[in-house]
A and B are shown apart, each in its own frame.
Chain A
Amino acid sequence: MKKAPVLKQFANLWTLGQYPTKDKEWGFEEKFKQVAKEGFEAIGGGAWPVAELCGKYGLDYICYIDGNMKTYKERLESAVQSKPARINVQMCDHDTLPAEAVKVWMKMEPVAEKLGLEIDLEVHRDTCTETPEKTYEIADRYFKAKKKKIRLCFDYSHIACVKHLSHPYAPRLLTHPDLVQKSRQVHFRPFNGHHCQIPATNGKGEQTQEFKDYLQFVDAFIELWLKGAKGGEVLYACPEFGPQGGYGISTFPDVWEDACLLRRETETIWKKHLKNWSKKK
């Protein structure tokens, strides 16, 4: 019998910035403890020496780095200390051409491999993947050069906003099933076509309409991803909410509570589709 694919959800330490309050922010270890307590299998953050804490709380680590032609080696080397399961790379700048970006990525991969690291190229504004056109051009160029599909870390909130999308999102966003199925890391930040982050709840514990619309997209994504799963794959997913001061707006409810809710909803959706996957296999 084939080993079932596994979902590992990770909390982003970013979500816990100044949490629960600016004055009484949880200590670094407390954040790991809370993340484990809420049922997350992993935690994500910078290139920090977190291996001991991860071991203590039974968590995997996802390391976030940026990188460009000048810095990628140094960034990868510094990521090693976090003993990450995967690395999320925000690469280059908003004005980097796909032809240049793919060169950096192809240099970065062998260095990562040598260091025993698994890297994913994040789809993110203000980097070389700021638009779907640029992202898919990078993927095409990579495929032409390497005869392999590029491994992306999708954060669809960026593409949805750049492209001014309306619900249902899947027909416009899941245009490259091959790349979805190849991915092993995804960032689930609830969005609509005008807001890169929407609140999951209305501050009174009820789910917002926008969030319900978004969950349909999560459903479509997981269904599509599992269609390509042969068994044994691990998908790292982050219910990712930014704190106040940018992604989080001052009137939004508690982002950590929203992230924990999204974790539970994602798990429910995953289990539903995994059941169907198991039946087919």
Chain B
Amino acid sequence: MPLRKPIKPPELRQFANVWTMLGQPSSEKEWTMEQRFRQAKKEGFDAVGWGVIPEAAKLCKALDMTYVCYIDAHFKTFKDRLEMAADTEPARINVQLADHDTLPVEAVEVWIKMVEVAETLGLTIDLEVHRDTCTETPEKTWEIAKRYKEATGKKLRLSFDYSHFALVKHLSPPYAKRLLEHPELVRVARQMHFRPFNGHHCQIPVTNGKGKITPEFTDYLQFVDDLFACWFAGAKGGEILYVCPELGPRGGYGLSTFPNVWKDACLLRGETETLWKKHLALWKKQ
């Protein structure tokens, strides 16, 4: 009887967003781009993400990391944006598509064309769930997914950032029941942005500025746990999930009273890895 080929387990690759490192370690002595990549490597990240930056491919090669490229796009710009993104030699591309007032029917037209162009360029793209884009609400996002399925017969590959839905929908913990309402789309996802949230804040502090974990973050980690359980239930083996412990700097997502966001992001990376390992062990048993 021939031996069954061993199944390769799913893999988690966590990427640091350069955005989190803006103004780090201080606005006067900000790290250079190379130093940011090195810091990410030092902190245990497998990848780095941000916009179309010329040094991305070279730095990733030197440090044995991969790159997740962030672009925005709409009907007129998507070709240009994809061509530019190709220079970063990205593992995946995160797309913020169109505007807050773009109708799902228009958005899906752009996305279908964009997937085709991306394929010819050898790029893998994920449609980000994000306010101020065509996916600003769950209703719009699910309508886009439905229309995409009807047009192509395939499930839409989203990059979930649930902080946006939680805020728009005024949610309370536990969040999973309201947020994980489309498990089939969670399972097809290969990129996620983990920005800790609650139902009124698109970003919450991981720590209280004295190194202690906040109660809001504890609630959020329960959601990460539930999200991994959902994702693993669909994993067949060999999948790579890119996850970004994503905290924005001061001046918007980051409030002036929040503790150091980079340190918080590094802590979240560690907690995410722990949860992943727990679910991976369960998956292997099954």
- Answer whether A251 and B258 are a contact pair too, CB < 8 Å, given A164-B100, A164-B132: yes
A194→B222 CA distance, assembly (Å): 22
Q: Which residue of B lies closest to A189 (CB)?
A: B200
- What 0/1 readout, one digit per residue, does chain B (22-37) give for beta carbons within 8 Å of chain A? 0000000000000000
Q: Kindly provide the distance from the CB of B29 to the nearest chain A CB, expressed in whole angstroms.
A: 21
> In which size bucket is the chain B interface?
20 to 34
Interface segment, A24-32, A71-79, A241-249?
Answer: A241-249
Q: Are A162's CB and B168's CB within 8 A?
A: yes
4 tightest Cβ-Cβ pairs between the two chains A and B: A164-B132, A126-B170, A164-B131, A125-B170
Contact A249 B100 (CB under 8 A): no
- Docked CA distance A280–B199 (Å): 44
State the majority secondary structure of interface residues on B. loop
Question: Which residues of B sit under 8 angstroms from A131, Cβ to Cβ?
Answer: 137
Residues of A within 8 A of B214 (CB): 249-251
Number of A residues near B (Cβ < 8 Å) is: 31
A-B contact pairs, 9 of them (CB 8 A): A162-B167, A163-B131, A164-B100, A192-B252, A194-B248, A195-B255, A197-B200, A198-B255, A251-B259
Q: How many angstroms between the C-alpha atoms of A136 and B172 in the bound complex?
A: 27
Interface residue? B202 (CB, 8 A): yes
Query: Given A164-B132, A249-B216, are A202 and B167 also a contact pair (CB < 8 Å)?
Result: no
Most buried by B among A197, A242, A251: A251
Whether A110 is near chain B, meaning CB under 8 Å from some CB there, is no
How many A-B contacts if CB must be within 8 Å?
85
Residue from B131, B168, B201 within 8 A of A130 (CB atoms):
B168
Q: Which of B105-113, B204-212, B268-276 faces chain A?
A: B204-212
Q: Which residue of A lies closest to B251 (CB)?
A: A209
Q: Mark A85-102, 1 if CB is under 8 A from B, else 0.
A: 000000000100000000
> Whose C-beta in chain A lies nearest to the C-beta of B137?
A131
For B167, list chain A residues within 8 Å (CB): 161-162, 194, 196
Task: Kindly identify, within residues 236 to 283 of chain B, every residue whose CB is under 8 Å from any CB belonging to chain A.
Answer: 248, 252-253, 255-259
Q: Does residue A81 face the partner (Cβ distance < 8 Å to B)?
A: no
Chain B residues in 8 Å Cβ range of A251: 205, 208-209, 214, 257-259
B210-226: CB near A (< 8 Å → 1, else 0) gives 00001110000000000
In-complex Cβ contact of B131 among A162, A192, A198 (8 A): A162
Q: Is the CB of A208 within 8 A of B255?
A: yes
Partner of B256, one of A194, A208, A250: A208
Complex CA–CA separation, A107 to B17 (angstroms): 51
Answer whether A162 and B136 are a contact pair too, CB < 8 Å, given A196-B200, A249-B201, A250-B216: yes
A252 CB within 8 Å of chain B: yes
- Residues of A within 8 Å of B199, CB to CB, are 246
CA distance A163 to B208 in the complex (A): 28
Contact B252 A166 (CB under 8 A): yes
Q: Does B252 lie within 8 Å of A194, measured CB to CB?
A: yes
Task: From B132, B169, B253, B259, give the contact of A126 (CB < 8 A).
Answer: B169
Does A202 lie within 8 Å of B256, measured CB to CB?
Answer: yes
The minimal Cβ–Cβ distance linking A210 to chain B, given in whole angstroms, is 6
